[in-house]
A and B are shown apart, each in its own frame.
Chain A
Amino acid sequence: MMRLLLRFSFIALFCFLSQQVVVAQMKISGIVKDTGGIPLPGINITVKGQSTIGAQSDAKGRFTVNIPNGKARLVFSSVGYISKEEVVGSAATLKSTLEVRLTPGTTSLEEVVIIGYGTQKKRDVSGAITTVGSKQIAERQAVDVFDALQGQSPGIQISQESGRPGAESSVRIRGTATFEGGADPLYIVDGVQGVNIDGINPADIESIEILRDAASAAIYGSRSANGVIIITTKRGKDGKVKIGLQALSSFGKLAHKLPQATAAERRLLDYKRTLVSNSTLSSSVDSLNPSANADNDYQDMLTRIGARQQVDLSLSGGAKTFNYFGSIGLLKDNGIILNSWSNVARGRFNTEYKPNDKLTISTKILASYRLENRISDGEVLPDALARSAYLRVYLPDGSFLSRSSGAQPNPLAQVLLEKNNFDIYNVGIANSAIFSLSKDLRLTVDANVTAENNSNFDFMPNILSSANPAINTLNVNNGFKTYWQFQAYCNYNKNFGRNHSFNSTFGVSADQTYTKNRSQVGNNFVSEDVITMNAATVQFPSVETQTRIFSNSAFARLGYSYMSRYIVNATVRADQSSVFGASKRLGAFPSISLAWRYSDENFMDWAKKYLDDGKLRLSFGMTGNDKIGAVDQFTRYGLGSNFYNGVSGVATAKTLGNPNLGWEATQQINIGSDANFLKGRLTVTIDYYDKTTKDLLYTAPLPSTTGFNSVKVNVGSIQNRGFEYVLSGYPIRKKNLSWNIAWNMSYNYNRVKELYQGTDLLPGNPNIWKVSQGGHIGDFYGYKALGVYAYNESNAYSQDWVQLTPVFDNNVFTGYTLDGKPYSGTVQKLYVNNVPLKGGDMIWQNMVKDSLLDDKDRVILGNAMPKWTAGLTNLVTYKQFTLSFSMYISWGGSIYNDLRQGLNASITNNNTPEPDFIKGSWVRQGDVTIYPSPAINTGIENGRDGNSMYIEDASYIRLRNLRFTYLFPKKILSKLNLGGASFFVFGNNLLTWTRYKGYDPEISFPSVLTPGIDVGRYPRKREFGAGLNLTF
């Protein structure tokens, strides 16, 4: 007690003294260098215990700082370097020029983290937030933001729609917490919502913060249930004009080919089919027929070495009152499938003007343009793999075989001659004014506008038409979207004494989204040289829809920190949106989070040597989801699609209105721990979460007798629980050699708790999923394959439905045995559609013990979601050389290989199965095989959807990225008059270890309820490249 009092009075005295003109001071000067010995400018030097910055190092790394007499601790800190403390004092006065070496690193606790409507010291963060900095992004040669984020943070799953150039991505933070309210996170770019993320050049990004827990996200209220990703773009820095140039070029190829039947194998299939059905070989596929004597390798014909070129140029600089950052990036990406390409231009201009201490005005302008040819992604490869290898592609005169002269599409003509162009323009302007009303009080007013125009032009020339005479067709779709947002908020931060610091935020916002979609179809073009709508002989009625959504909100945050040791933050947001019924319009989303820096407690003194910093976090919050259709609350009449006899009929829309429609609310608890050991050498972050979404927004099906097929309802509940951790550290940190390694891992467990009227949902086409109470999202539902009946007589079961073994004597059936003993009891058979199964038919597990094999025999066959995912990143620096690589692991999920299922289903003779199927299918009585008879559609559905044979293990380990950089030494640079220069070579998607049989186990999850189906989309390429980075 006495000691405490003493200490207190000392502090009080100290405070008093520091207010006065310091009686006795001492000057300390020195130099700050990095581990390589290069002087570091702009390093902040503070005297520990004083709130103001003591000094900053100059361009040559030199500094001078006044310290009070006696002993003092100096803290050297800067973004990107690990802070260092040096004791100076009476003994040290001798060495009056101090030399301090700082180690680069990103674990500094002094860093600032961007949170909603403000910033926070990383030290004081009480939620689960991950920051990805510009350096980490630069290591990836990312084409877009998603590419930059992949594997960088726990709890986040990113998947690209396909490997097509310009393919969009979807992101899931901590599993799927909704059915159809939209599962992607909310993006905030420089404080603005509604920005098209594809329009952002990753090279322009300063930092990305991922708000994973509800307490961090809840300030964004009704749109935050899927997590929030905050992107901050670069700004100019004081000093000379800086010009940056990065150029890279890369080549990519198909990572691996799938086995496809050759002409000889296809002929074997044709022969086998004659054996299993009473038919003779068709003369039209005889090898002497010139239309059927090719032996095409379609995958070779369709793919090529893809090439990507990317140039990014940036210009930045500033003075005391003004700074700017401008950039332009050009990307030309030619995909690995012929005629697929994407050209992107992205520009940005950020300015900030500070006429005086009281006012800061900033404007950020973003514009992007994207032109793509998307071919028929998702159709080309399945079509090509199904086509018989012996069919010709070219006619004798070198022209393409047209679609109408052959039932199976000509994949080469399809790729080369279809024009499927997308033009996407995107402009965003963000204006903000910050008024510093006093030292502690700041008012920010934002006004932001974005506009996007997305048009698709898809022309199929005559040669691709299956009609006779051919009909060429043009589809034009145009989507236009505008978004405006206004927000105003004030931040009031105040420290009382040295130990108590308060921060508070209060603000309001309003925004409006307007969309206009218009599409038109025309066909029978007068000339294929003119492919604008005026050349169409027939123009179909155009379809147009417009929607407008308005919402407004108020939000507040209150935070308190006692010596950064005890931290509490609370937020609340109230939202109203026009998409909900008037009575359910208002939603409130509170959150609270607590943190305790136990490492600062006295009782932890013993650990000071090892533990730099240790913090425990606990948070609870409620977040919402408002992503439903603009007019789902209303019962409506639709127009334009019910013509009869020349009159445009007006009929009720298929969705019944629900005036009681409200928010989907997610409650999440997060428990976390952050710890830094051994002076930043090891950082450990662990989080556990439990989030439950209630009032799920989803489309409940209605019986068609109502005249509607669905209604949007707020029923049901789903739970996600998970565990995430990050380990990162410097196993080696020497003057010339350093190695940084980071490992993150996430587990997520998902459970459906409640459904509308308890009715299972069977979503998707093919119908292979089941969502049921107590089940999980992504459960595959279908028939378990147990093999193939060898003999007609093999379809025989005992009274208890145990399969009997038929016995043959000289090929004459003599009877059955059960467990090796002769069986003479009742023999039961299995029937499909009332037809008894025979030799060569699939044996399915008979779940309901009756003689019918039908829908009731379906079981849960697996789940699409991985049990855990992990990312590993490495950065090794030796003198001027840097090697970085990253790996990604996804473990435990399954994929339904729809591509293989479709090929092997024997639904039509046009489909050519895999070589394995052709060779391994049943033909004669007694054949023991894994694949059934290749007979075409015998009515007993051997090729049915939901076959467990095609649910494959999708676990994989992938070396996603490898980069080797050489940093030119200063000596050479100064001769060349360069600020910095580096050269790098890199590879992406280099190695994959997996048992999955498709192109790529990393597949898209576009729809929440139907994940994990591989239909044979454009595969991801294996890429090698090199580039140069220059600053002037």
Chain B
Amino acid sequence: MKNRFSFLSLSLGLCLLAISCNKQLDQKPISDILYQDFWKTAADAKYGMASVYSGVQKTFSNTFTEWGDARSDNFGASGTGENQVNISYNGLTAVTASADWSNLYSAIARANVAIKYIPTITDPSFTTTLRNHYLGQSYAVRAFMYFWAIRLWGDVPLRLEPYESVDAPPNLPRTNKDSIMNNVIIPDLKKAMTLIDKKSLNVFEITVPSILSILTEVYLWKHDYANVIATTDQLIALRRFSLVTTPSEYKDVFITAITTENIWSLNWNYITDGANGIGAKLGSNSNTSNFQIDIPLDIWEADAKNNPTPDIRRYLNYDTAGVTGSTGVVTAPSVIWKFYPIDINTGKPAAPSRNQNQAKLPFYRWPDILLMRAEALNWANDDKNGAFAIINQVRRRAGAVPLDSTKAKYKNQIQVEEAILDERQLELFAEGKRWFDLVRTDRVLTTMDPIIRDRQFKVKASITGFTDPRKILWPISRVVLNVDPSLTQNPPYSK
């Protein structure tokens, strides 16, 4: 009896012991911040904003070349890697890595979080100017990312609020691309214009000129030439931008990104941000490039053969030594060193190793804006002289022979447009523009079909060319479709 009693009392004692340490069960994360504990101070806004840009960086690290250049005549596959072969031979599939939009939507989600929570910060030191400046940047970044998304995939899911609870349905249908353009991208950019701090000159962040530049490209994409002229007028009126003149300044456009010509570039520091993936695509000293220069090489080499003072962009883009062999056969250089500084020992630019790449990807710079304006002048006002004035302004700066606008081959607007695009191809080579130039001006099939047929013929592959306009859009990645089976694939791609 006594035993049973002491057993019970011991048990009771032990129970009390257990209850007494229940408080310990509330363990907060040690190395992370709880969702509800952030966006409280002015500093929080700064750190949150940095993550939005970091999201942009992560999005373009491995995709910049593939989305903007690699499917165009700027590049062909180098080597035999499956990914680059598929991209260069018009053989995109649902498993092509760059078809995955996850990073892009991650950047959008971060912007959504910023847009929701920046207004809730009650810190008195957080001034209205600063608050609006951060908000404006967030709206502009989100619009910019959606602009890429609709150009690549057409209709895409649209999310403008952060997803916060597991109870909410996570899947979204695809929204019409024109609706996203007209109801989200353009209004958000206009709203960003009103919010942004007009005094900001930071070339690595969204500023007034960056928003105007995005708007210019957006309007051009819509063939809304009057608005292109209007936004470029606004940019000219800022009296801040002009073309740099010397080769070393031209180099600085991509190295320091602080010149009179830079509007918006992505900052990059490989130590903190990780290496820019463009090194693997365009070559580095540690690997052969995935893609090698195609048509622009022929143009520049022909120019070098015929002109005593060739286009300086030739040697600023690649190593000209050994490109044309003794037999006259042109072989592609292994590295595009446009974004890298000149090595003081060799006097030539040198690509860093792949994992030290910190190319500051240029989103917008002055010649881009000027040439977009030229395109609008050509179509809106049939202003051939205005267009050629811009083309030749850009060409002269590069030391290239100016074009004679009176030539028979520049007779109609289409031909003038061709001249503008050719100049854009050389000036903005490897800057993520060429593919969209071809798409915008409806030149993909005519330009790419013969090139792809030629490539396929050379390797004895089945010749399919580029005949299906539906293939202009990218496929939706298998990674995305696996998670959300309700999404439909872009035809004719298969799942």
Contact = CB atoms under 8 A, between A and B. Distances in A.
Contacts of B44: 650
Interface in A553-585: 553-554, 556, 576-578, 582, 585
Contact of A637 (B32, B82, B478): B32
B170 A703 contact: yes
Contact of A635 (B2, B35, B112, B205): B35
Contacts of B100: 704
Interface centre among A767, A852, A937 (most CB of B within 10 A): A937
A913 to B, nearest CB: 14
Interface centre among B162, B271, B462 (most CB of A within 10 A): B462
A335 B108 CA distance: 50
A1015 interface: no
B172 interface: yes
A321 interface: no
B478 A585 contact: no
Contact of B27 (A437, A465, A548, A652): A548
A919 B172 CA distance: 51
A792 to B, nearest CB: 9
Interface in A938-962: 938-941
A502 to B, nearest CB: 10
Contact of A643 (B17, B54, B89, B170): B54
B495 A649 contact: no
Interface stretch (B188-196, B233-241, B349-357, B423-431): B349-357
B303 to A, nearest CB: 30
Contacts of A294: none
B148 interface: no
B287 A466 contact: yes
A639 B32 contact: yes
Interface string B157-190: 1010011101000111000000000000000000
Contacts of A105: none
B412 interface: no
Interface in B266-292: 267, 269, 271-273, 284-288
Contact of A644 (B57, B464, B494): B57
A908 interface: yes
B377 to A, nearest CB: 35
B164 to A, nearest CB: 7
Contacts of A702: 163, 170, 483
Interface stretch (B18-26, B214-222, B398-406): B18-26
A540 B50 CA distance: 19
A277 B460 contact: yes
Contacts of A550: 21, 24-25, 27
Contacts of A494: 3
A635 B100 CA distance: 24
B48 A508 contact: no
A278 B49 CA distance: 53
Interface string A901-934: 0000001110000000000000000000000000
Nearest to A490: B10
Contacts of B102: 704, 709
B204 A645 contact: yes
B483 A490 contact: no
Contacts of B65: none
Interface residues on A, range: 35 or more
Nearest to A491: B7
A652 B462 contact: no
Interface stretch (A165-173, A191-199, A408-416, A828-836): A828-836
A55 interface: no
B88 to A, nearest CB: 9
Contacts of A660: 166
Contacts of B462: 835-836, 838, 940
B484 interface: yes
Interface residues of B, number: 101
Contact of B86 (A554, A643, A704, A939): A939
A443 interface: yes
Nearest to B7: A492
B286 A467 contact: yes
Given A468-B285, A576-B25, A631-B32, A646 B166 contact: no
Contacts of B54: 642-644, 649, 651
Contact of A707 (B25, B162, B485): B162
Nearest to B494: A854
Interface string B255-274: 00000000000010101110
B163 A656 contact: yes
B46 interface: yes
A356 interface: no
Contacts of B159: 705-707
Interface in A835-860: 835-836, 838, 852, 854-856
B126 interface: no
A650 B48 contact: yes
Contacts of B342: none
A836 B461 CA distance: 10
Nearest to B112: A707
Given A512-B24, A708-B163, A713-B166, A642 B51 contact: yes
Contacts of B461: 835, 938-939
B101 A554 contact: no
Contacts of B4: 492
A705 B157 contact: yes
B106 A650 contact: no
B80 interface: yes
A707 B6 contact: no
A5 to B, nearest CB: 30
B172 A705 contact: yes
B225 interface: no
B391 to A, nearest CB: 34
Contacts of B482: 701, 762
Contacts of B478: 767, 855
Given A510-B18, A656-B166, A856 B495 contact: yes
A706 B3 contact: no
B130 interface: no
Contacts of B164: 635
A554 B11 CA distance: 10
Contacts of A469: 285
A115 B91 CA distance: 62
Interface in B479-495: 480, 482-485, 492, 494-495
A973 interface: no
A365 to B, nearest CB: 26
Nearest to A939: B91
B489 to A, nearest CB: 10
Contacts of B14: 488-490, 506-508, 554
Nearest to A551: B25
Nearest to A552: B18
B459 interface: yes
Contacts of A706: 105, 109, 159, 163, 170
A190 to B, nearest CB: 21
A480 to B, nearest CB: 13
B180 to A, nearest CB: 13
Contact of A547 (B30, B35, B82, B354): B30
Given A471-B356, A644-B50, A704-B102, 13 more contacts: A504-B7, A506-B11, A552-B21, A638-B32, A647-B50, A649-B48, A649-B49, A651-B51, A709-B102, A835-B461, A855-B478, A937-B85, A939-B86
Interface of A: 276-278, 404, 407, 437-438, 440-441, 443, 465-469, 471, 488-490, 492, 494, 504, 506-508, 510, 512, 538, 540-541, 544-554, 556, 576-578, 582, 585, 630-631, 634-639, 642-653, 656-658, 660, 701-709, 711, 713, 759, 762, 767, 833-836, 838, 852, 854-856, 907-909, 935-941
Among all A-B residue pairs, the 6 with the closest Cβ atoms: A707-B109, A649-B51, A467-B353, A649-B50, A651-B51, A704-B102
18 contacts: A438-B2, A466-B286, A492-B7, A545-B31, A552-B25, A578-B25, A638-B32, A642-B50, A643-B54, A643-B273, A645-B50, A649-B53, A653-B32, A704-B100, A707-B105, A709-B102, A835-B464, A907-B80
